[in-house]
Amino acid sequence: MSERSGTGDRLVTIGLLAVRLVVLVVAIQVWRSAAPTDDLARFQAIHDARGEPYRDFVVEYAPLEVIAVRGLLSSDAAATALRVAILAFAADVGTWWAILTAWGRRAGERYLWLGTPLLVFIYTRFDLIPVFLATLGVVLAVRRRERLGGASIALAALAKLWPLVIVPGLLVAGRRRAFAWALGLTLALTGAWWWFGGWRAIDDVLSFRHATGWEVESLVGTVVWIATGGPIRTEAGAPRIGSVPAAASIGLLVLLGAVVTLIWVTAWRRGGGAAFGGAAVSAVAALLACSSVFSLQYTAWLLPWGAIAWAEGDRPRFALIAGIEVLTAVLFVVYAPDRAAVAQALLVVRGLLVLAVPVSWLIRDQSANDVASSSGDVTGARQTNRSHT
């Protein structure tokens, strides 16, 4: 790479970071006078509620997020919005830095590009914090600081549950100590959570405050919405439709377990070289595809693994994630009750892209294995012929 090209890349990175700083400043200014909505309103309600979370009132968030909401936020709505925005911004920049240190400047830049569309709303959510913790854990594990790496991923899983699907990647990548620490600490912290709030506390999170409907932004929810036309109701803070039968929940859980297992077995057969890129982003996408809840901010979970996939040469996965993030931002901007057809079309396309991430990764791997097997047969035949000659 020429010096001019390197300078240009650095300027692009500086520009993308500057955009984030501007968004942070604008968000702070807007929420100084605006009433809290969506996640901010829920954070405020949890912070101000009397009694102990899980014990005295229902909470749909995992323990680390609840601790942050209760301990770091404020009774003043503007102060709460300010602190959430600063935390999200710091986590965003921290994830970029983590990718930069392990996979290089270009991979870090790709992370910034992927996340830029989500800046229209993501600094009012908590989701970037577990993204940072999970990415940091992977980087520490890769750099052979495995205990800290496993602990960081365990903390990420106790903030949001989704990092559990990338834990097998540590084993696939040969980081057994990090795997043991991530799994062991997650189990220990989950035990402490159960001791504090009982099984009901865990059930509150798994059921998202005992909601019964499909979120319309989920893949199944979108299909139900198109098929039935509604009605849509607000349940546990999300737009939902219909009801989720117990058999459907069990079936999706079994399907998710099978697909994630296949993804990591396939990654192991390939030697673990794409553990935290193509395999990780496919595992997270499979989780999103099988979930009855798929809020717009959940697409942030894909960001670091999509950037790492690019660094590993997996351009198709990167392109799919870029399309998902752009469509998510458009959905946030255009969605309205009187634009149902537009929202449904965008959700269908986004859902197909999410499905394409794990499916195409597995198909590509099978194709590569077939080609390699064929090449091996041809090579073996040639060697046999030469030996006979």
For the chain, the first-to-last Cα distance in angstroms comes to 48
Cα 294 to Cα 211: distance, rounded to the nearest angstrom: 13
| pLDDT(326) > 90 | yes
**Stretch 297-320: mean pLDDT, rounded?**
94
Report yes or no: 62 and 53 within 8 Å, Cβ to Cβ: no
Confidence band of 3 (pLDDT split at 50, 70, 90): very low
3-state secondary structure 97-136: HHHHHHHCHHHHHHHHHHHHHHHHCHHHCCCHHHHHHHHH
Amino acid 98: pLDDT: 96
| pLDDT(335) > 60 | yes
| pLDDT(249) > 50 | yes
Is 80 or 326 the better-scoring residue by pLDDT? Answer: 326
Report yes or no: 141 and 173 within 8 Å, Cβ to Cβ: yes
Amino acid 317: pLDDT: 92
Alpha carbon distances (Å) from 290 to 117, 132, 143, 170, 271: 24, 23, 32, 23, 27
pLDDT digits (tens, 9 = 90+) for 91-146: 999 999 999 999 999 999 999 999 999 999 999 999 999 999 999 999 999 998 99
**Stretch 196-201: mean pLDDT, rounded?**
89
pLDDT digits (tens, 9 = 90+) for 10-29: 889 999 999 999 999 998 88
Domain limits, the chain: 1-206, 209-372
| pLDDT(382) > 70 | no
Q: Which two tokens stand for residue 41?
A: 């309103």
| pLDDT(373) > 90 | no
Amino acid 379: pLDDT: 37
Amino acid 99: pLDDT: 96
| pLDDT(377) > 70 | no
Q: What's the whole-number average pLDDT of the chain?
A: 87
pLDDT digits (tens, 9 = 90+) for 170-181: 999 999 999 999
pTM for the predicted model, two decimal places: 0.89
How are beta strands 238-241 and 233-235 bridged, if at all? antiparallel
Confidence band of 191 (pLDDT split at 50, 70, 90): very high
What DSSP designation does 299 have?
Answer: G
Report yes or no: 121 and 158 within 8 Å, Cβ to Cβ: no
- Within 10 angstroms of residue 234's Cβ, the number of other Cβ atoms is 9
| pLDDT(337) > 80 | no
| pLDDT(387) > 60 | no
**Stretch 209-221: mean pLDDT, rounded?**
90
Confidence band of 366 (pLDDT split at 50, 70, 90): low
How far is C-alpha 361 from the geometric centre of its chain's CA atoms?
Answer: 17
How are beta strands 238-241 and 214-215 bridged, if at all? antiparallel
